[in-house]
């Protein structure tokens, strides 16, 4: 047998020895730490793995304690949820530990969230939580507990790619896909992480919870910003950073003052209601100028973004990012909001930054949001990475935006 043939045979033999988590050992010899938030998804994940015979250990992170938030429907990782996770662990017969991560969570997620808003950005705290807390600190804890795998209840899939390394993919159910929040996951983390629900629907998960008779089977889903007890994020920002809501001017695209505001943290790009100014046409928040404390407004067409520059870029596609961009700009599909479908784009270099050109354009893109790369526009597309939006460029010239006749003429010329 040739050397190449032997390697193929060895690879097939190794694959045959792998369990359902792609680990080369029997389930009963494979310790799995499950991140249990107290919700139905992570609870079903733990129950499924226990039913398959794995050595399952449940770990719940105490991330904050905001009093009322501990019993608020849709909260997570607070008092009631810890209680629920403990009940599920007892029900399925696994050990359960609660780890106090409050100080880390405040430093890495809540403080960064507040600072980002004060800078005029629209942050995505779930990205920071997954990357800095769940997939970094908890992953280390899982290894210390002797685990070979850290499993979560995220709706995202991972599979071994052609190069033998694990790759990240969108979930089977498009409406439940959480890959947007996991773009910062590194190659090394992917090798240790597993997502058993990625190829299931939410309805299937609920049905499994009922079959396992879990006490959280009918529990409501958690919300994105779990640490905001009242639903008003400005309350959190003002408590952490007194004086953050400084007043300033509301101006149009040419800088004309139209009115006053009581803090840019109360505004987001794309907002139309609650501007407090009278105008002859509908106006939207187009940009937040934190340095000048200005809220810049304009017509809807001024919201359309065609180019953006990224920071904190993570690449998990084939080859390295430099190799992928060596010849020319890379054709990908991107999401700039978790609820929107991927759209075609070109990724390249602009100075020292990674730049993205949206071929169709997108409304309401703001610095601080995530821009996530995919290899296809639909289905279980592969996640290639992404970054945090650093700056955006509007598709509309500020002067043209105030002269519709010029816009029409420009369109005819184009």
pLDDT score, position 6: 46
Q: What is the pLDDT of residues 116-143, one digit of tens each?
A: 999 999 999 999 999 999 999 999 999 9
Q: Could you give the count of Cα atoms lying within 13 Å of 138 in the half-sphere of its Cβ?
A: 33
Q: What is the pLDDT of residues 161-191, one digit of tens each?
A: 888 899 999 999 999 999 999 999 999 999 9
Task: Report the C-alpha gap between 223 and 345 in whole angstroms.
Answer: 30
Task: Report the C-alpha gap between 404 and 222 in whole angstroms.
Answer: 44
Strand order in the sheet with 149-151: 96-100, 55-62, 31-35, 149-151, 193-194
Query: What secondary structure, in 3-state letters, does the chain show?
Result: CCHHHHHHHHHHHHHHHCCCCCCCCCHHHCEEEEECCCCHHHHHHHHHHHHCCCEEEEEEEECCCCHHHHHCCCCCCCHHHHHHHHHHHHHHCCCEEEEECHHHHHHHHHHHHHHHHHCCCCCCHHHHHHHHHHHHHHHHHHHHCCCCEEECCCCEEEEECCCCCEEEEECCCHHHCCHHHHCCCCHHHHHHEECCCCCCCHHHHHHHHHHCCCCCCCCCCCCCCCCCCCCCHHHHHHHHCCCCCCCEEEECCCCCEEEEECCHHHCCCCCCCCCCCCCCCCCEEEEEECCCCEEEEECHHHHEEEEEEEEEEEECCCCCHHHHCCCCCEEEEEECCCCCCCEEEEEEEECCEEEEEEEEEEECCCCCCEEEEECCCCCCCEEEEEEEEEEEEECCCCCHHHCHHHHHHHHHHC
The highest-level CATH class for domain 25-153+196-211 is: alpha beta
pLDDT score, position 52: 97
Which residues carry out catalysis? 129, 226
Higher pLDDT, residue 238 or 401 = 238
Q: What is the pLDDT of residues 80-114, one digit of tens each?
A: 899 999 999 999 999 999 999 999 999 999 999 99
Task: Report the C-alpha gap between 320 and 326 in whole angstroms.
Answer: 10
pLDDT at 71 over 50: no
Strands 55-62 and 31-35: parallel
pLDDT score, position 4: 54
Task: Report the C-alpha gap between 342 and 335 in whole angstroms.
Answer: 5
Q: 64 burial class (0-12, 13-18, 19+ CB within 10 angstroms)?
A: buried
pLDDT score, position 393: 92
State the chain's mean pLDDT as an integer: 89
Q: Could you give the count of Cα atoms lying within 13 Å of 256 in the half-sphere of its Cβ?
A: 9
Binned at pLDDT 50, 70 and 90, residue 79 comes out as confident
| 153-191 CB burial, b ≥16 within 10 A, e <16 | bbbbbbeebeeeebbbbbbbbeebbbbbbbbbbeeebbe
Task: Please list, in sequence order, all residues whose beta carbon lies within 8 angstroms of the beta carbon of residue 110, skipping any fewer than 6 positions away.
Answer: 64, 125, 227, 236, 240
Q: What is the pLDDT of residues 372-405, one digit of tens each?
A: 999 999 999 999 999 999 999 987 755 554 544 4
pLDDT score, position 405: 40
pLDDT score, position 68: 43
Q: What is the pTM of this model?
A: 0.88
CATH 3.40.50.620 holds for 246-298: no
CATH 2.60.120.10 holds for 304-394: no
pLDDT at 412 over 60: no
pLDDT score, position 15: 53
**For the chain, which residues make up each domain, given as ranges?**
25-153+196-211, 246-298, 304-394
Higher pLDDT, residue 257 or 17 = 257
pLDDT at 408 over 90: no
What does the pLDDT average to over 355-374? 96
């Amino acid at each position: 047998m040739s050397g190449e043939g032997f390697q193929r045979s060895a690879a097939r033999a190794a694959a045959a020895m792998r369990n359902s988590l792609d680990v080369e050992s029997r389930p009963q010899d494979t310790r799995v730490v499950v991140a249990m938030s107290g919700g139905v998804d992570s609870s079903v994940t733990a129950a499924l793995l226990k039913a398959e015979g794995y050595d399952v250990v449940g770990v719940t992170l105490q991330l904050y304690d905001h009093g009322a938030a501990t019993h608020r429907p849709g909260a997570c990782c607070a008092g009631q949820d810890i209680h629920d996770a403990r009940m599920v662990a007892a029900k399925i017969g696994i050990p359960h530990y609660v780890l106090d991560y409050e100080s880390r969570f405040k430093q890495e997620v809540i403080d960064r969230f507040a600072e980002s808003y004060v800078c005029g950005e629209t942050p995505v705290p779930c990205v920071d939580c997954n990357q800095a807390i769940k997939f970094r600190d908890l992953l280390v804890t899982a290894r210390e507990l002797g685990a070979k795998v850290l499993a979560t209840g995220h709706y995202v899939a991972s599979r071994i790619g052609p190069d033998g390394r694990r790759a990240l993919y969108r979930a089977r159910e498009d409406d439940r896909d959480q890959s947007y929040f996991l773009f910062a996951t590194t190659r090394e983390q992917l090798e240790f992480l597993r997502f058993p629900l990625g190829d299931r629907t939410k309805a299937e998960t609920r049905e499994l919870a009922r079959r396992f008779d879990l006490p959280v089977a009918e529990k409501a889903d958690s919300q994105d910003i779990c640490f905001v007890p009242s639903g008003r994020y400005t309350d959190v920002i003002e408590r952490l950073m007194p004086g953050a809501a400084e007043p300033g001017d509301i101006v149009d695209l040419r800088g004309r003052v139209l009115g006053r505001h009581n803090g840019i943290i109360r505004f987001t790009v794309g907002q139309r209601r609650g501007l407090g100014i009278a105008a002859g046409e509908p106006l939207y928040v187009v940009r937040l100028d934190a340095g000048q404390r200005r809220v810049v407004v304009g017509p809807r067409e001024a919201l359309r973004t065609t180019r953006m520059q990224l920071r904190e870029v993570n690449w998990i596609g084939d080859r390295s990012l430099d190799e992928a961009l060596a010849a020319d700009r890379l054709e990908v599909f991107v999401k700039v909001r978790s609820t929107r479908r991927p759209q075609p784009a070109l990724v390249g270099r602009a100075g020292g930054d990674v730049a993205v050109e949206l071929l169709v354009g997108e409304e309401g893109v703001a610095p601080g949001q995530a821009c996530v790369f995919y290899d296809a526009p639909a289905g279980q597309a592969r996640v290639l990475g992404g970054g945090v939006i650093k700056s955006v460029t509007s598709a509309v010239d500020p002067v043209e935006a105030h002269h519709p006749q010029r816009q029409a003429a420009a369109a005819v010329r184009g």
